[in-house]
Amino acid sequence: MEAWRQLTDNELVTFLKEGNRHAYTEIYHRYKRLLLVFALRRLENEEECKDLIHELFLQLWVRRTELTITSSLSAYLYTAVRNRILDIITHQNVSARYIDSFQGYINQGEDNTDHLVRHKELLQLIESEIATLPPKMRLVFELSRKTNLTRKEIADQLDLSEQTVKSHMQHALKILKSRLGNVFGILFL
């Protein structure tokens, strides 16, 4: 492993694109703490930041063959973290607006057209977030939440192990919770 530490970022990226797990591991260990500190300065939620970093590195591995780095690896990673932070903040702001609006509706007890429009927009937001999940994870999540199938029934239907179904559900819930914030708790827990 010492040899991998001696390589430059550019060399590691070349090996990563070829599917080398050692290069991926070295990149992960080289940048995970730095990126976590960077994210923590902006979000101030350690669990959310850890999830963000893990998702980033997961996507780095999944999309390694498509990877296009025009400047440096560190700039690429920091930009990716920054963009994910902006997405989280945007979703939190949108969610907060809808929650405030919904709470006002509950407090007033009015059933008006404005509420129905907002409700529809909120459902569209939620559906769009579900649609961004990886395909198998999305399918497991939708079967669980929309058809109320048990974990065993989903596993049988998709020819997966129950543990895989459980893992997909846990990851889906974690991703949706980080993206939808408070809305998530009202709707899925």
Tokens in use for 118?
Answer: 């907002």
Asked whether residue 104 is assigned to any structural domain, the reply reads: no
Query: What pLDDT, on a 0 to 100 scale, did the predictor assign at position 148?
Result: 75
Tokens in use for 68?
Answer: 């296009």
Do 92 and 115 belong to one domain? no
Do 73 and 27 belong to one domain? yes
Mean pLDDT on 156-173: 85
Do 81 and 43 belong to one domain? yes
Asked whether residue 152 is assigned to any structural domain, the reply reads: yes
Report pLDDT digits (tens) over 82-106. Answer: 988 888 877 777 666 666 665 665 5
Asked whether residue 35 is assigned to any structural domain, the reply reads: yes
Residues 6+ apart with CB under 8 A from 8: none
Do 89 and 125 belong to one domain? no
Range scoring the smallest mean pLDDT among 3-12, 63-72, 139-148: 139-148
Query: What pLDDT, on a 0 to 100 scale, did the predictor assign at position 167?
Result: 86
Asked whether residue 116 is assigned to any structural domain, the reply reads: yes
Do 178 and 142 belong to one domain? yes
**Count of CB atoms situated within 10 Å of the CB of 143:** 20
Do 76 and 8 belong to one domain? yes
Compute the mean pLDDT over every residue in the chain, rounded to the nearest whole number: 81
Residue listed under structure tokens 């937001």: 125
Do 26 and 64 belong to one domain? yes
Three-state secondary-structure class, residue 178: helix
The domain that holds 153 is classified in CATH as 1.10.10.10
Report pLDDT digits (tens) over 125-160. Answer: 778 878 888 888 888 878 887 777 788 888 888 888
User: How confident is residue 30, by pLDDT bands cut at 50, 70 and 90?
Assistant: very high
Mean pLDDT on 28-52: 91
Burial string for 105-137 (b: 16+ CB within 10 Å, else e) reads: beeeeeeeeebeebeeebeebbeebbeebeeeb
Asked whether residue 147 is assigned to any structural domain, the reply reads: yes
Threshold 0.85, pTM exceeds: no
Asked whether residue 131 is assigned to any structural domain, the reply reads: yes
Residues 6+ apart with CB under 8 A from 167: none
Alpha-carbon span 72 to 74, nearest angstrom: 5
The domain that holds 20 is classified in CATH as 1.10.1740.10
Checking if the pLDDT of 76 tops 70, the result is yes
Query: How many structural domains does the chain have?
Result: 2
Alpha-carbon span 87 to 95, nearest angstrom: 12
| Percentage above 90 pLDDT, the chain | 32
HEC string of 110-149 equals: CCCHHHHHHHHHHHHHHHHHHHCCCHHHHHHHHHHHHCCC
Last residue of a domain, one of 54, 74, 97: 97
Mean pLDDT on 11-26: 93
Do 169 and 118 belong to one domain? yes
Query: What pLDDT, on a 0 to 100 scale, did the predictor assign at position 36?
Result: 93
Do 14 and 92 belong to one domain? yes
Residue listed under structure tokens 């980080």: 178
Range of the domain at 71: 1-97
